[in-house]
Structure 1
Amino acid sequence: MPGIDIKDRQRRCVLPFEALPAEVRLLRRAAATQLGQWGVPTACDAAQLVVTELATNVIKHVGEGSPATLILEWKRERLRVEMHDKSSALPSVRTADCDAECGRGLHMLAAMTVDWGTVVTALGKAVWCEIELGSDAVCLRMERAIDALESYRERGTPVLPGRCETVMEESAVELIADLLHWTSARGLDPDDVLDRAQMHYEAEADAA
């Protein structure tokens, strides 16, 4: 599977791959890694199940080895998952009394997501669904935090493979340290600012 192409400011991750059974595990891992970097790991289990089902459907119904693309897009309180392939044949939900395998995947998508659908594209089709992430206020804070951390990461050394999460943690420490220096320079008490921030965090976490 090719490397991850991430447009950070748009919170969009594009993963082209070949529809092979061995690729499904790599897609699941890549999706989990990306959600961790975005700071929304609570959707990881649901996203991995959706990715598995969509990728498996491409293997079964479009053809093993066919080119496809997985797109993850974070839209505040929702995660959008899209699977693009080269076939223009749209899937349909079957009745529950047909054989066990037929239509099972779409019923699962409908049960796990808040919305889903299919659309014909210029190259074939896309099956998409949206997973609920949490309150809009919490997701807005996460989005602002990632924007700040990305800015810190861009000013640092190049990120080596497998170290992105560690670098983000180091950037978070540097950001907090800089904010403490700023509060002290303004004549504020850093401990008091940290206590107030903790109170805001706990209140919003309890409400989520």
Structure 2
Amino acid sequence: MPGCDAHGPRFRCVLPFEAEPAEVRLLRRAAVAQLGQWGVASVAEEAELLVTELATNVIKHVGGGVSATLILEWRCERLRVEVHDKSQILPAPVQACCDEECGRGLHLLAALAADWGTVLTAVGKSVWCEIAVQSAVCQRVERARGALERYKESRPFMAARGRSEAAFLDESAVELIADLLHWAAAQGQDPDDVLDQAQMHYEADGEAAAAA
């Protein structure tokens, strides 16, 4: 589910699951498929490990068969993997003298993730981690956002209408594309050809990201 916030475009997927080994396998596949649809398959292997660890920890420390939720959130430069359950007992790293597996998953999170943490919620807790995402898609998104910000500065009357930031950027994107098509026509180009070429580049970037 795409969205937008102050940090740029955001994609979010919510996947409820039952804390069972068979469900974890299905959850892992669903997460990898979602990342492929977003065009960030380059981080699928790391995300798959993190999803497995977080979901398995629910089975070990909350209980088999309990209801939990996986949330994937991509904000261009970061992918956030977050699991919610109904226990308010926060996990802690295993002590050096402990030979149990209870806290080793946190060491894996720390090793793989750029950042991670735990949060108490009204109905339980969430354990989250973030991994860095670098791709041609991200670079294009950042360039587009910079162009839209500059476009906004050149049209202050639009910003004065009380729109939200997301709504303003959406409208600015349409207006900017329209301006570019007028510019192409003024240069003797066919606007439909320009749109077709842009679509080809968009699809090629997505295919390249999925194959990475």
Normalising TM by the smaller chain, what interval?
0.5 to 0.7
Q: Please show how residues 159-174 of structure 1 align to structure 2 within 5 Å.
A: none
Give the letter for the 1:80 counterpart: R
1-side partners of 2:98 and 2:84: how far apart? 27
How big is each residue's C-alpha offset from its partner over 1:168-199, in whole Å with a ceiling of 9 and x where there is no partner? xxxxxxxxxxx9xx9689524979x97xx7xx
- What's the secondary structure of 1:89's corresponding residue? coil
Q: Please show how residues 19-168 of structure 1 align to structure 2 within 5 Å.
A: 19-99=19-99, 101-134=101-134, 138-141=137-140
Give the letter for the 1:77 counterpart: E
Q: How far 1:140 moved relative to its partner?
A: 4.7
Q: List runs of 5+ in structure 2 lacking aligned partners.
A: 4-9, 145-179
1-side partners of 2:58 and 2:143: how far apart? 35
- What's the secondary structure of 1:95's corresponding residue? coil
Query: Do 2:39 and 2:137's aligned partners in 1 also have CA atoms closer than 8 Å?
Result: no
1-side partners of 2:96 and 2:54: how far apart? 19
2-side partners of 1:108 and 1:25: how far apart? 19
Q: What residue number does 1:8 align with?
A: 2
Q: How far 1:98 moved relative to its partner?
A: 2.2
- What's the secondary structure of 2:110's corresponding residue? helix
Count, aligned residues: 156
Q: How far 1:111 moved relative to its partner?
A: 0.2
2-side partners of 1:57 and 1:143: how far apart? 35
Q: List runs of 5+ in structure 1 lacking aligned partners.
A: 1-6, 146-178
- What's the secondary structure of 2:71's corresponding residue? strand
- What's the secondary structure of 2:64's corresponding residue? coil
Report which stretch shifted further, 89-98 or 101-110.
Answer: 89-98
Give the letter for the 1:141 counterpart: R
Q: How far 1:96 moved relative to its partner?
A: 3.6
The alignment's C-alpha RMSD in Å is 3.3
- CA shift in 2, pair 1:142/1:100, >3 Å: farther
2-side partners of 1:16 and 1:80: how far apart? 16
2-side partners of 1:143 and 1:37: how far apart? 19
1-side partners of 2:24 and 2:105: how far apart? 15
Task: Answer with 1 or 2: which has the greater Rg.
Answer: 2
- What's the secondary structure of 2:52's corresponding residue? helix
By relative contact order (CA 8 Å, sep 6+), the higher-ranking structure is 2
Task: Say whether residues 1:187 and 2:185 are aligned partners.
Answer: no
Query: Do 1:39 and 1:142's aligned partners in 2 also have CA atoms closer than 8 Å?
Result: no
TM-score by length of 2: 0.64
- CA shift in 2, pair 1:72/1:132, >3 Å: same
Q: Which runs of 4+ in 1 moved over 3 A?
A: 142-145, 182-186, 188-191
